Each structure stands twice: as C-alpha cells, then as structure tokens.
Structure 1
C-alpha cells in the first residue's frame, strides 16, 4: 500500500512524552475510506456522471468487506513484524491472485507462471523466517507474537488476492467506470468500519488520541491522502490490465519501499534476507523477459517445386 512508511510510523512509533502507541487500526481504515469516498463522489459530480450503482450493491459490499479485512490485517501486522518483512511478504500475493483467478474468473495459467510465483514465495519465506538478530517490535511478546504477525500477513494476502480479483470480475462483467466502483466500495467501507469502531468502543478513544497528538493527526491526514491516490491507481490498473498484472507491478515497487524503510528506521537485514530479496526480484524480472510475444500463425501453401512457402499470418 502506498504510504506504508507513514503507516509504520503511526503503528510503531510512540507519540508524546508518555510514549503512547496508536492501536486503532480500524480508525485508519475509516479515515482512508471516507477521504477516498469524498474524492470519488466529487469527481463523479464534477464530470456530471450519475451516482447510480452499476452493479448490485451487495457486490460492492463484498469488495468492501474484503478490502477492510485486507487493510486491517496489514495495519495490525505492523505491530508484530517490521515493515521490510511485511513488505517483501506482499510479493507472495501473486499466488493467491492466481488461485482466486482460477476459482472466480476460471483463468488458466502456465506451469512456468506457477514456478516463478513459487520462487517469489520461496524468497519471501527466506525473508520472513530469517530476520536480522536484535530486531525487536515494541509490541513483541515472544513467539506467539511472531506467529500472530505471520498469521495476519497470510490473512492479508488471501483477502487482498480476493479483492483485486473480484474487482477485475466486476469491471469485466458490468462495463463499470472506475470512479463508480471506488465510490460505492469505499462508501460501504466507511459504514462498516464506523460500525466496527462504535461497536468496539474505539471511536471516541481514537479521536481522543488524535486530538492529544497533533503529529498523529498530520500523519493520518498524509496517509489518507496517499491512500486515496493509491486507490485510483489500483482501480485503473486492475480495470486496464487485470489483477495478476497489478500484483506483479505492486511486487516490484516493494523494493523501493523496503529500501526507504531500511534507511528511515534503520532495519538491519540478514544475509538470508538479502538472498530472499535477490530470489524474489530476480524471478520477477526473469518473468518479464520470458513474457510471450504475440505471433501470427503461418499457413503453408501447397508444395510448389518441392518447397513449402508460408502464407501471411491470419488474424
């Protein structure tokens, strides 16, 4: 997700002289979604496009629920694992996207696609299982925290793969405009996240925390702005190129995020993690070189003078 270094700062760096940690990840989801919903509604009105839903509302709701679970798992995982570990783990999202693509879209993938995706996952596993010595989370409570953090990342990958694949299905099935889908999915997310905050009793606690820490308010505002821009990029990419291409693009951008986080927060990297990074990004770039080029089929004319002559390719 764009703005992830800011997300890490919010969830992992204490605020104020009493060193208080912000723990209300669902409040971040609510702030992000209400900002995105307002911008998309304004864009639709400015372009004089109808606000009427194109697909049944419950289908927007499915995307919304899955997206909320995705984002919540992502934010919560930051309490237990470092951002570089979580970021490179996101590279494994190609596999759940392929699985969901097979289930939801009835797509078929080649063996080498699964091989390269497996190599990416192997690299991610090396990165997760062999952290640098001395890296401690402020929320760390021993082994259970590590298991819980990895579980949250697995949940993130599963829900994220479903979200992008179902968005792809909606775009293809309903000739849906980007801003229309963004508006209704984020509107549903606003309602669901607000309901969750109220039911958990965290809404007033989160507001109180932000009101006491102006720098936290600024960080959340920056995160919401970047998340809104990111959502438009995500929807455009999925609508134009499909869910798997989007997963590949997002995987390559993780390298820049990892480097930024390592510089910003001083995360050490073990040699196993460096090897995992090489495997991940090497596999991705090998895939780009092995990409199939469209070829026109050749039709042979009847043998003339003992030679075959190819005709021009047929479309």
Structure 2
C-alpha cells in the first residue's frame, strides 16, 4: 500500500470518527435529559470513560505494530513525563466540557480549532521564547475572532456567562499547549528504543484514568454517584456516551498514525478542516442560529488559521535541503 493511499485512509478515518464524535458530544453534554430534567454535566466521569476506552483500543493498536518495547517498560522509564503530560490532559478535558455549560457548541469548536494560541502562550509564558510578527498577528486575529463569535450571540447576561465559558476554554487551550509541547519533546528525545504514538496513547490514557479515578473517589464522590443515577434515569445517555468514547478512541489511532508517518503540518491541516466541517454540521443538524457578526468571527478565525498554515508550509519548503 502506497503512502498516498495510507494518508487517504488516515484522513478518511479522522473525518469519520471525529465528525461522529462531535455529533455525539453536543447532545451528550448540552441536552436537558427528560427523566432527570438536567444536563449530563459530569465532566470528569466523561473523561474517565473516554480515557479507559482509548487505553484499551491503544493496546490493540500497539500490539498490531508488533513493537518490542512494552508499555510497562515505557512507563517505568518515562513515568515522570507520562504523569506530567497526563495531568495537563486530565485537567484540560473537564475544563473544556465544563465550558459547554456557558458557550454553545459552535463557539466551543471554534475556540478549540485555535491550536496556535496555546502554543504561543506556552512559548511566551513557559519557555520565554520570542514569537515572530506573523504569528503574533495571527494570534491577535484568532483571539479577536473567537471573542467576536462568543460575545456576539446574546444579551448582556448571556454575554457574561459566555465570557466565563470563554475563560474556561482559554484555560483548556493553555493546558492543551503544555500537553502538545511536552508530547513533541518526548517523541523527539533520543532513546535506545523507539517511542511511537501508540505508546503515548496507551500510557497517557491509562494515567488519565488514574487521575480521574483519584479525583472522583477522593474529592468528588457526588459526581460519580450523580453520573450513575442519571445514566439509570436516562438510559439514552449511554448510547451517546459509548459513541463518543468509541469514536474518540478510534480517532486517536488515526491521529497518531498520521503524526508518525507524515508531518505535523498535514495533521494540523486535516484537524482544522475537520473542525470547520464539525461546526457547519452542528449548525445544520442541530439548527443553531448564527448571527452575521458571528459569521464574521468564524471567517476571521479560519482566515487567520489558513494564513498561518500556508506560511508554515512555505517555511517548510524553504528549509528543506536541496537534493544533489
């Protein structure tokens, strides 16, 4: 099988799994369920189920690779990295899910599309590295577009709630930036045995399970009990939850495959376009009302992201060594 066909299959896999994932996530987290008369807002429980499913699927993915580097050995050698990366992931996902109580799903997807923002924040605030003028301009455009969309959709009271939700999203994005930067450093670190995306998928999701179990058992037992009670009262929630978990786990396999065999630019392009389609699907399928000023915000965000993607591709072409 040629590399182009493999990439085509990977892209189709990312689209199929994550478009279905997003269509399941929105009603799962934002609907008011009839019997319990409440939203399923148990963020840590949802993350726990997602991570457990992804860890199991990741084991099969790693086994299919026939790697001689076992998960236990990997975790023993890199337990500090795994603990740190999984902690930022474990904190990011509940913050993002919690924000859905205050912003609509289209705004959520728009903000989560802005991978450049957390990367810039991490480099400036954590690593103290300067950023180029082009990236700074894109950062301003993207930030302005997200704010324009989020705050341009309702009255003052709704705007205040949206502002809080946007703040939670920014926290989640910053944690995503820490996660991505740490993953890149770990994958590129010289090692006696090759670290693959499958190793990260299994180890990180297993650690996220432990983090969330500890939180639910030690600090928030009411969320655990509330989750089970609501699932019992509204069994339909389970269908959306299982779909969300299964699609997320399978999607991670395609993401890590693309990251290993192709460039991060390819993955970023696929991810951004997929999220754009997810937003449009959400508007069409669930009948969201989008104001003109919000459409302007969407155009500003994706215009900025597209410009950055094109610039990055041009820089990559220039930096490639010439073949003699």
- Shorter-chain-normalised TM-score: which range? 0.7 to 0.9
* Number of residues of Structure 1 aligned to a counterpart in Structure 2: 294
Equivalent position of 2:3 in the other structure = none
Equivalent position of 1:166 in the other structure = 182
Residue deviations 1:224-245 (CA, integer Å, cap 9, x gap) = 0111123223434455567676
Residue deviations 1:162-210 (CA, integer Å, cap 9, x gap) = 1111111111114411111111111100111111122211223312321
Equivalent position of 1:192 in the other structure = 211
CA distance in 2, matches of 1:265, 1:110: 39
Higher CA-based Rg: 1
Equivalent position of 1:273 in the other structure = 294
Unpaired segments ≥5 residues, structure 1: 135-140, 298-312
Are residue 4 (structure 1) and residue 25 (structure 2) matched?
Answer: no
Equivalent position of 1:207 in the other structure = 228
CA distance in 2, matches of 1:238, 1:129: 35
User: 1:24 aligned to 26, 36, 42, which one?
Assistant: 42
Change (3 A) 1:66 1:214: same
Equivalent position of 2:305 in the other structure = 284
CA distance in 2, matches of 1:185, 1:223: 18
CA distance in 1, matches of 2:246, 2:176: 20
Report the alpha carbon displacement of residue 289 of structure 1 after superposing the two structures with TM.
4.2
Please identify runs of 4+ aligned residues in structure 1 that moved more than 4 A: 101-109, 141-144, 237-249
Q: Which residues of 2 match residues 236-247 of structure 1 at below 5 A?
A: 236-239=257-260, 246-247=267-268
CA distance in 2, matches of 1:231, 1:102: 28
Higher relative contact order (CA 8 A, sep 6+): 2
Change (3 A) 1:45 1:286: closer
Report the alpha carbon displacement of residue 99 of structure 1 after superposing the two structures with TM.
3.5
SS at 2:113 equivalent = helix
Q: Does 15-24 or 71-80 show the bigger shift?
A: 15-24
SS at 1:62 equivalent = helix
Conserved in 2, the CA contact under 8 Å of 1:98 and 1:244? no
Which of the two has greater helix per residue? 2
Conserved in 2, the CA contact under 8 Å of 1:102 and 1:108? yes
Unpaired segments ≥5 residues, structure 2: 1-16
Change (3 A) 1:203 1:226: same
